[in-house]
A = this chain, B = another copy of it.
Amino acid sequence: MSRQQPVPCNGDCTAKTNSVFRYLTNEEQLQLSTDKGCNIYKRGNIIYREGNKINGFYCINKGIVKIFKTGTEGKEQIIRFAKQGDIIGFRSVLNGETACSTTKVVEDAILCFIPTELLYHFIKTNSDFSLKLLQLVCKELGESNSFLTDIAQKTVRERLAEVLIYLMGIFGLDNEKNIQVSLTREELANMVGTATESVIRLLSEFKSDKLIELNGRKIKILDISGLNKIGNMYK
């Protein structure tokens, strides 16, 4: 399925300093380095699939992945994106359930795999780490609830503007103000929760309104406050 290649993870693995693992003690970090595995994944690779039993979780060292659930008609609903320093799969691991979402590589990635037992060990012995992890999950829960409310109440137009702002916040802009991520129109639609055609039409409207510029999958942000206004980001 996923044709990842094992790579030796050197001591500079960013998981240690950028992720929730920075709250581990030196000794624990050493243990982490020893026990974890590191793999390269290419765009399109699937890390794990909804329903899979996973016996560990992943920390993203490099690259971008999307986490989505598959709806009734087989349509993807993207829950979030994850990038360097983010962890994925911990929800299922902690609850001892099968994965409730699928994770797929959007931009070539290097992922560290951390076995379940190690996570439990850290939680048992390092309360500081537990707290930070708890806060991380709570943060995600808050975002999920906000997103839920938006999808339930905002129009597609508003949500698309919001998603552009969201993507800008996560991936940033390059020096030409392009959002630094390359997504298909379909992926955008699966994030917004709408049809691909609707995204295309609205994007070209935004373009006519001088809010953005389009060049293939590159989206250049011209008018942030305009997008914010359309997305009702103030309340």
Q: Which of B127, B138, B139, B151 lies in contact with A151, CB distance below 8 A?
A: B151
A-B contact pairs, 22 of them (CB 8 A): A69-B145, A69-B146, A71-B150, A71-B153, A71-B154, A72-B153, A72-B154, A75-B153, A77-B149, A77-B153, A79-B145, A94-B134, A95-B142, A101-B145, A123-B127, A123-B134, A124-B131, A130-B130, A130-B134, A133-B134, A137-B138, A137-B141
Best-buried of A94, A95, A153, A235 by chain B (most CB within 10 Å): A153
> How many chain-A residues does the 8 Å CB contact rule pick out?
45
Is A201 in contact with chain B by the CB < 8 A criterion? no
Cα of A185 to Cα of B92 in the assembled complex, Å: 35
Inter-subunit contact A152/B95 (CB<8 Å): no
User: Interface of A with B (CB < 8 Å)?
Assistant: 69, 71-73, 75, 77, 79, 90-91, 94-95, 97, 100-101, 120, 123-125, 127, 130-131, 133-135, 137-142, 144-154, 158, 193, 232, 235
Residues of B contacting A133 in the complex (Cβ-Cβ under 8 angstroms): 134
On chain B, the residues within 8 Å of A154 by CB distance are: 71-72
Query: DSSP class of A's interface residues: helix, strand, loop or mixed?
Result: helix
Q: Which of A101, A139, A142 has the most CB of B within 10 A?
A: A142
Point out the residues of chain B lying under 8 angstroms from A69, CB to CB.
Answer: 145-146, 148-149
Q: Is the CB of A72 within 8 A of B138?
A: no
